[in-house]
Amino acid sequence: MSLFSELRRRNVIKVALLYAVASWLLIWIVSHLVGGVGLSAWVSDYILLLLAIGFPVALIFAWTYEITPVGLKKAVEVDQTQSIVYKTGQKLNAAVAVLAVLGVAAVIGEQLLPEFEPPPPLVLEEIPLKPVFDFSAKAEVPREITSFNLPNGLEIIVWPDHDIPNVVLYNFVRAGGRNEYPGITGIAHFFEHMMFNGSEQREQGEFDQEMEAAGGANNAYTSNDLTVYQDWFPRSALKTIFELESDRLMRLAIDPDVVETERTTVYSERRLRIDNDNFGRLYEQVRATAYVAHPYQNPVIGWPSDIENWTQRDLEDFFKTYYAPNNLTMIFSGDVTPEEIYLLADQYLSPIPRQRPPPAITTVEPEQQGERRVLVEASAQTPLLHVVFHAGAEGDPETLHLELLLAILAEGSSSRLYQTLVEEEQIALDVGAWQSGGFDPGLAYFAMTLTPGGDPLAAEARLLGLLEEVVLEGVTAEELTKARNLRIASFWRSLQTINGKASALGNYEVFTGDYENLFAVPEQLGAATAADLQAVAANVFRRSNMTVGVLRAPLDEGEQ
Amino acid sequence: MRSALCVALSLLAGLAWSADITLPDYERVALENGVVLLLSEKHDVPLIGLRAVVRGGSVTDPAGKAGLTELLATVMQKGAGDRNAAEFAAAAAGVGGRLSISSDVEAVAVSAEFLSRDAELMIELVSDVLLQPTLTEAEFIKERERTIGLIKAAKDADPNDLMPYYANGFLFGDHPYGSPTIGSEASLADIEHADLVEHYASNFGGDRLIVSVVGDFDLAALKARLSRVFGGWAPAPGELVSVPAPETAPGPRVLLVDKPGATQTYFWFGDKGVAIDYPQRAELNLANTVFGGRFTSMLVTELRVNSGLTYSARSTIDRRSQPGSVMIKSFTETGTTIEAIDLAISVLGRLLDGGLDDAMMASARNYIMGQFPPSLETGSSVANMLAFLEQHGLDRSYIDEYGAALAAATEDSVARSIAEVYPDRDGLVFVIIGDADVIRDDIAKYGSVTEMSITEPRFQP
């Protein structure tokens, strides 16, 4: 009797087949559980290992033992005439067949019954944006932009652009300085660092190593309102990017040793941007003075004692709450189609479990009741003067008017403030103005670097005089045209690159609730009038709404 | 295992598309007076990018007048043609255009970016700023004083911004590459209005000019216009002086710049490197990508990720018509100054001793090629690249064959470049900005220390 026929007789081959089919089904089920209900990935690895070890054991068992009407017996001890191996074999065949049918049905069923809506329509032809210069019309919303939501709440927008074989991903996380409170200031920014520091599957450093080896690069920034992650990569790295992004969102490791190293890195960043840079020192103090209640008063990088003291628990809670898919918006722009992004997102990102929405930030900064002042004494050859006023939130209609007004006042060397303060009177070496509104009302911010030995009080008086002029007399038609042209040119400039497209689309989606608002910018610029600008000036540039910050050398040092 | 597979797969992918990265077609027109025009149409957005380069730059600053060329560039846009300073600024901004002029070590460059409908006006402004700057004495004095003030302001801010002036000054000494392009408080104070006018007259002319324009325009019409506008510009008197090869004093030597009360020490070390014509550019870029040119570089991994000593560390190879610097820079809390510098030197040692292995080569190659296309995505960036190639006598193979050169580089060829270009551990030149009272004694071990204060009105001791 050959070994093979004896293997057949003892049903070893059928057992092997049954084992294989059952294992395959088990693996299929587990891999879907890992995706669906957030079962850890190690579980599937563990089961795979057990199944592999079990295989030879099962075969040896099948060879050695035989099922008889009176129970298990060693095969060599069974009387061949009494053997029921044939019947057992038929049962095994039936079991294989049932399991195989179940498996095939599951796989087919999965194909036939998608978990959510079918893929978006076929990719539309990419049409260059039609230039709009006359401000009378909306720019057309490019038809090739597609957006969809995964069932877990993750919002995805795709802007195909095939000019270069590259792709940009912006992941907007709705977490920033605004979501912090005493004890954990700086934690959103700290997460911006921790997100690169390893997962349960990847050691610290492997995220970046894999991304860069595939040709990609990344960065991230944190603001008062958002933490934004950026990946720039060749099309060929698309799948790698999905693997890496889903891994860190699903299985971030918050290793206590790594946390300690990263604290010192962040401290170094704080020394770089704030402690050893006079602008940073004053900026931090001015914001902390202008706000008394709203969390915009805290520096995004965090107060030093908070950087030193947040706990493992703080970090875990923050991650769970704010890095939930329902708190993210991802923008892809570049050499991709919506279909492939949809399919990859379904595979890699839809398994991330939804969480309860983050707590709402309800604190409203109370109306300021009189001007505030803050002085920073520091070693300085050139004094700094910052003057700020409470203004609007990003989505407010007034915000565009203020943006135009600030362009007239301080954008470029033809602006009012530059011409007067820098060119004509030489009070300042430089002057800048911007507004910082986000989800909540921000500040209109004026910053001047004074000429060496300059008098901050005199400079302040001159600045306020110029602002009062705008309140009383408004702006000229020529100035309004210039400001509109500056904005329309920067609108087009921002849409030159796939990076600019992703950034602009994401910011409009997150702050205004609809990315299509981006394309209304030309029309809105056209609708703004000189009266609108004067009205916003009158509303914002009030002394009782003002905080003044000065940085200068201590007086005894300055007088030497 | 998985990452090895990843590397292998992405290497294949990288090779597959590296052939795609080429410069767009462009037309090169040489006018009789020596002006070179480089033109390429690109119609995806209604914008035009322009770069006008005048060969020369800060290396033409006369001895003792460091900063003259850059100051001249600033004053050139303070009134030109029929417009005074305010009118000139308002003209460009009025149509939302950007126009700036800046001075680099070996060229003065005008950069402009504007809506295609405004091409006529913006080209007029570019030609006025180059051919007809008014250079009034009032504007000159104002800008000279303002520049001096801005240097003082920079000394109150992040020391990284000023590091290049101290570093090149200490490394190159009296060679033109050692002179601060921005000038110093002392050298600027010695510049007179007559110097400015004379410097313009002797260093600007059609034979030095390259005009590169890429964007939404009709090529034939623009070529005719530019030929008319720049074709009549007389050549500059005399020959363009070529820069001599720099000789640097041997290390080890240290410049300590005292910034009292600084809680962080900013350090730089390096030596003379190689010129723009160095033939193994691909090898060098592979080596520097791995060593200090990206986030997973050896320097960032050691100084930031593994030790938390700093927020940032990098290495740069500055290639000019003659060898510039090859350098490493970072910063750290004052108390860990020695630990961080020692670690950075040991990482340099690892590069010199170990070179790059296969996985590092593959990763760096993919990284460079993967990040390359966006660098030529806009009209302005292509215009800048075309002007750069023309300025340095390079042709389009510099871009078109770069992928092939990266693919052809081997561990051995990279190792040879590392040995040729990176400085020896024992002969380094250091510049350290920090609180001298705290670090003075400890840094003496790196070489003979020269000390100066950050408030001294110059960048060289």
Judged against a pLDDT cut of 80, whether residue B25 lies above it is answered with yes
B156–A381 C-beta distance less than 8 A:
yes
| Contact state of B96 with A486 under an 8 Å Cβ cutoff | yes
A208 to chain B: nearest residue by CA?
B296
Among candidates B146, B333, B371 on the partner chain, residue whose Cβ is nearest the Cβ of A232: B371
Burial A280-316 (b: 16+ CB within 10 A, else e): bbbbbbbbbbbbeebbbbbbbbbbbebbeebeeeebe
Tell me the chain B residues in contact with residue A264 when contact means C-beta distances shorter than 8 Å: 308-309, 333
Mean pLDDT of A107-115: 52
Does A33 have pLDDT greater than 90?
no
Nearest CB neighbour to A414, from listed B17, B90, B149:
B90
* C-alpha distance from A347 to closest chain B C-alpha (Å): 19
Does residue A248 belong to the interface with chain B, where contact is any CB pair within 8 Å? no
In angstroms, the first-to-last Cα distance of chain B is 54
Q: What pLDDT, on a 0 to 100 scale, did the predictor assign at position A271?
A: 86
* pLDDT value of residue A84: 73
ipTM exceeding 0.95, yes/no: no
* Bridging pattern class, strands B47-55 and A546-552: unpaired
Which residue of chain A has the CA closest to B95? A485
* Angle in degrees, CA A362, A363, A367, rounded to 5: 135
Residue with tokens 């990266």: B406
Kindly tell me if the per-residue pLDDT of A106 is higher than 70. Answer: no
pLDDT at B356 over 90: yes
pLDDT at B11 exceeding the cut of 70: no
Flag whether residue A83 sits within 8 Å of chain B, measured between CB atoms. no
Domains delineated in chain A: 3-112 (no CATH), 146-348 (3.30.830.10), 372-559 (3.30.830.10)
Which of B156, B309, B330 to probe the A interface (max A CBs under 10 A)? B156
The model's confidence at residue A118, banded by pLDDT at 50, 70 and 90, is very low
- The encoded tokens of residue A504 equal 């602009």
Distance from CA of B41 to the nearest CA of A (A): 14
Asked if B94 lies within 8 A of A485 by C-beta distance, the reply is yes
For residue A94, the model assigns a pLDDT of 77
Q: Which of B13, B296, B310 sits opposite A236 (nearest CB)?
A: B13
Higher pLDDT among residues B324 and A131, named by residue = B324
Task: Inform me whether the pLDDT recorded for B275 exceeds 80.
Answer: yes
Smallest CA–CA separation between A163 and chain B, in Å? Answer: 8
Chain B residue numbers with beta carbons less than 8 Å from the beta carbon of A213 are: 3, 6-7, 10, 359, 362-363, 366-367
What pLDDT does A307 receive? 94
Are the Cβ atoms of B359 and A213 closer than 8 angstroms?
yes
Kindly tell me if the per-residue pLDDT of B36 is higher than 70.
yes
Which chain B positions have a beta carbon within 8 Å of A166's beta carbon?
370, 373-374
pLDDT for res A111 = 52
Nearest Cβ partner of B311 from A209, A210, A272?
A272
List, for residues B172-193, the tens digit of each pLDDT value: 999 999 999 999 999 999 999 9
Residues of chain A contacting B13 with CB distance shorter than 8 Å: 214-215, 234, 236-237
CB contact under 8 A, B44 and A128: yes
Pick A382's closest partner by Cβ from B43, B152, B263.
Answer: B152
Q: What is the pLDDT of residue B241?
A: 83
CB contact under 8 A, B17 and A217: no
Q: What is the pLDDT of residues B53-69, one digit of tens each?
A: 999 999 999 999 999 99
- What is d(CA B369, CA A215) in angstroms, rounded to the nearest whole number? 7
One DSSP character per residue, A308-377 reads: HH--HHHHHHHHHHHTSGGGEEEEEEES--HHHHHHHHHHHTTTSPP-PPPPP----PPPP-S-EEEEEE
What pLDDT was estimated at residue A30?
63
**B20 contacts A277? CB cut-off 8 A:** no
Q: Do B263 and A129 touch (CB under 8 A)?
A: no
Test the B interface: residue of A218, A377, A381, A552 with most B CBs within 10 Å? A381
Residues B128-181: pLDDT tens digits? Answer: 999 999 999 999 999 999 999 999 999 988 889 999 999 999 999 999 999 999
Q: Would you say residue B298 has pLDDT above 90?
A: yes
| β-bridge partners, A170 | A230, A331
Indicate the pLDDT class of residue A129, thresholds 50, 70 and 90: low
Confidence at A73, pLDDT banded by 50, 70, 90: confident
pLDDT tens digits along B396-432: 999 999 999 999 999 999 999 999 999 999 999 999 9
Mark yes or no for CB contact B96/A489 under 8 Å: yes
State whether B115 and A206 contact (CB < 8 Å): no
pLDDT at B16: 38
Residue-averaged pLDDT of chain A: 88
What confidence tens digit (pLDDT) does each residue in B111-125 have? 999 999 999 999 999
Kindly report, residue by residue over A499-536, the tens digit of the pLDDT.
999 999 999 999 999 999 999 999 999 999 999 999 99
CA-only gyration radius of chain A, Å: 32
Q: How many A/B residue pairs have CB atoms within 8 Å?
A: 234
What mean pLDDT is predicted for residues B89-95? 94
Q: Is A235 on the interface with B (CB under 8 A)?
A: yes
Pairwise CB contact (< 8 Å): B309 & A264: yes
User: What are the pLDDT digits (tens) for A401-427?
Assistant: 999 999 999 999 999 999 999 999 999
Residue in B closest to A277 by C-alpha: B157
The overall longest dimension of chain B from CA atoms, in Å, is 69
Q: Do residue B296 and residue A268 have CB atoms under 8 angstroms apart? A: no
Contact: A205, B296; criterion CB under 8 Å: yes
pLDDT tops 50 at residue A281? yes
CA B29, CA B27: separation in Å to the nearest integer?
6
Q: What is the pLDDT of residue A150?
A: 97
Closest residue, chain A, to B19 (C-alpha): A165
Give CA–CA dist A31/A40, Å, rounded: 10
User: Alpha-carbon distance A215 to A213, whole Å?
Assistant: 5
Q: In the prediction, which pLDDT does A45 show?
A: 61
* Closest CA in chain B for residue A261: B308
- Tell me the average pLDDT of chain B: 93
CA atoms within 13 A on the CB side of A548: 17
Query: What stretches of A205-327 show up as alpha helix (H) in DSSP?
Result: 206-213, 238-251, 256-270, 278-290, 304-309, 312-322
User: Closest Cα to residue A459, out of A417, A505, A410, A415?
Assistant: A417
* Range 485-504 of A in CB contact (< 8 A) with B: 485-490, 492-493, 495-499
pLDDT in tens, A487-502: 999 998 999 999 999 9
At A553 the pLDDT is 94
Please answer yes or no on whether A272 and B264 come within 8 Å at the CB atom.
yes
Whether the predicted pLDDT of B218 surpasses 70: yes
Could you tell me what percent of chain B has a pLDDT over 70?
96
Question: Which residues of A fall within a CB distance of 8 Å from B370?
Answer: 166, 214-217, 233-234, 236-237
Which chain A residues contact residue B159 at CB under 8 A?
276
How many angstroms separate the CA atoms of A495 and A130, rounded?
A: 12
User: Which candidate in B42, B144, B296 is best for mutational testing of the A interface (most A CBs within 10 A)?
Assistant: B296
CB neighbour list of residue A540: distance below 8 Å, 6 or more residues apart: A389, A390, A391, A402, A444
Q: Does residue A202 register a pLDDT over 90?
A: yes
- Name which residue leads in pLDDT, A392 or A41: A392
**Nearest chain A Cα to B262, which residue?**
A276
Q: Which residues contact A532 (CB under 8 A, 6 or more apart)?
A: A401
Would the CB atoms of A485 and B85 count as touching at under 8 Å?
no
CA distance A135 to chain B (A): 13
Q: Specify the pLDDT at position A12.
A: 78
Cβ–Cβ contacts within 10 Å for residue A366, how many?
Answer: 10
Binary contact (B47, A268; C-beta < 8 A) = no
> What band does A17 get if pLDDT is binned at 50, 70 and 90?
confident
Residue of chain A nearest B434, judged by CA positions: A276
Q: What is the pLDDT of residue B13?
A: 39
Query: What are the structural domains, with CATH classification, of chain B?
Result: 27-230 (3.30.830.10), 253-453 (3.30.830.10)
Q: Which residues in chain A are closer than 8 Å to B261, comparing Cβ atoms?
A: 379
CA distance B293 to B367: 10
Question: If you measure CA to CA, which chain A residue comes closest to B86?
Answer: A414
What number is the average pLDDT over the span A295-319? 94
Residue of A nearest to B307 (CA): A261
Q: Which of A276, A335, A404, A503 would you mutate first to test chain B, the one with the most B CBs within 10 A?
A: A276
> Does the pLDDT value for residue B260 go beyond 90?
yes
pLDDT-derived band at A339 (thresholds 50, 70, 90) equals very high
Work out the pLDDT band at A119, boundaries 50, 70, 90: very low
pLDDT at position B169: 97
